Every structure is written in structure tokens, then in C-alpha cells.
Amino acid sequence: MPGIDAIIFDMDGVLCDSEPFILEAAIQMFRETYGVEIAPEAFTPYVGTGEDRYLGGPAAEAGVSLALPRDKERTYHIYLELIVGRMPALPGVHDFTAAARQHGIKIAVASAADRMKVDGNLREIGLGNDHFDAVITGSDVNRKKPAPDGFLLAAKRMGADPARCLVVEDAINGVEAALAAGARCLGLSTSFAPERLQAAGAHWTAPNLADVPEPLVRVLGFA
């Protein structure tokens, strides 16, 4: 198995557990803007696809005509208020990214979320943009996950061969995007069960970055 020169991290469910907060913000936005109550499970199929689809899918099912980007920006404003002091980095994030740095492995973030949300998340978990070799957001690509565009752009910005990249993902759409990019994938079971991540094609699974499986630790050279 070829070595790994770069690691590309999804944001939500990988570096931080933002899903409960963006869900709460989206439900609140629909309630205050359109007077409709959207069930939490209506958002599940759109996890990891970017907020246009995350909001647009449930809206279409409820017969609501979204006003974008206005409704998305309102959702983000609610979200950024909700996360203050309430959203630490997930277990292992700081140690794992530091270990990658120490071993000469480049690191990037590639999220389907817009810049506004990504910057707010990184700020809240204590990792600035300058901690990474590249930060790609949904604002930087036309096609969102499961298309591989974000991961391919991250690899390009780092000067890395996608085949020598590890993508860390938590969503089915993200695992599919990683494989479409030609990268290997570590699936974190923060949003979906390990079995579903494996069925989507994840090469390894783990509960979080503090408990990475030993075979992957050896591939990375951390052991």
C-alpha cells in the first residue's frame, strides 16, 4: 500500500460535532421565516452535502420555496450564535493534526459548508486557517459531495497526489466523494454507523481521531 503524504479532513462530524447546532439553526430558520415545523429526520439524507442541499431538500419536501442565499445566511447567523462556548473539538483532533505535522504530512480541510461556517467552526475549536496547508469550502467548488471536487482541489492546493491522500469523513456522501477522488478514506462513526461507512467504501473506521485503528497508524508512520 502506498504511503500517505497528505490528510484532508471534512469539518462537520470530523473536527467538531456541529450537526446538532446546524440542525437546530435550520429548524429555527424555517420556523421563524416560513412558519413551518420541519422534523429533524428530514435533514438526515442531506448531511455532508452543503447547506444549499441541507436546507433545500427538506424545503422541497415541505413545499417551501427557499430564498437563497438569504435563508442560508440567516441559518448561519443563528448557528454561529448557538455554537459559542458550546462546541469543542472532537476527541483526538488536536493531537492527530499535530502528529501529522510532526511526521511531515500535509493537512487540509475540505468542507461542503460555506466559508462563513467553516471559519466560525475553526475559530470555535481553536484551530485557525493557518493551522492547515489548505482550507477548501463549498464556496470554492461548483459541485458538492458526493462529487470529488473539494477533495481534488485540496490535494491540488497542497501539491499532493490524490492517490496518496487520506480523507477523513463522517458522512456517506463524503466517503463516496473520497473514493471518487481516488483517495483512501477513514470513516468516523459520529454521524453514521461503521457498517454503513464500510458499505460506502471506507477503508478504515473509527469512533473519532483519538482511536484510529492500528493498521492505519502504521501506514501513517505514527507508530
Confidence of residue 209 (pLDDT cuts 50, 70, 90): very high
Each residue's pLDDT tens digit, 103-125:
999 999 999 888 999 999 999 99
Q: Of 125, 118, 112, 50, nearest to 84 (Cα)?
A: 125
User: Of 28-42, 49-63, 194-208, which gets the smallest average pLDDT?
Assistant: 49-63
- Cis amide linkage into residue 69, ω under 30° from 0: yes
d(Cα 57, Cα 5) in Å, to the nearest integer?
A: 36
At 5, the pLDDT band (50, 70, 90 cuts) reads very high
pLDDT at 142 over 80: yes
Percent of the chain with pLDDT over 70: 100
Q: Residue 223 has what pLDDT?
A: 76
Average pLDDT, the chain: 95
- Identify the active-site residue in 10, 52, 114, 149: 10
Q: Is the pLDDT of residue 47 over 90?
A: no
β strands within 10-164, DSSP E: 106-110, 134-136
* pLDDT for position 50: 78
- 12, 52, 71, 170: the active-site residue: 12
Residue 23 predicted with pLDDT over 80: yes
Cell of 161: 497526489
pTM of the model: 0.89
Active-site annotation holds for 12: yes
The three three-digit cell numbers of residue 204, written as one number: 478504515
Q: What is the pLDDT of residue 19?
A: 87
Alpha helices, H only, 83-192: 93-102, 115-125, 149-158, 172-180
Interior angle at CA 5, CA 87 and CA 192, nearest 5 = 40
Per-residue confidence (pLDDT) for residue 129, from 0 to 100: 86
Q: Predicted confidence band at 2 (pLDDT cuts at 50, 70, 90)?
A: confident
* Whether pLDDT at 89 is above 90: yes
- Largest Cα separation within the chain, whole Å, is 54
- Per-residue pLDDT at 152: 98
pLDDT at residue 112 in the model: 87
Which cell is 156 given? 491540488
Residue with grid cell 493534526, as numbered in its chain = 97
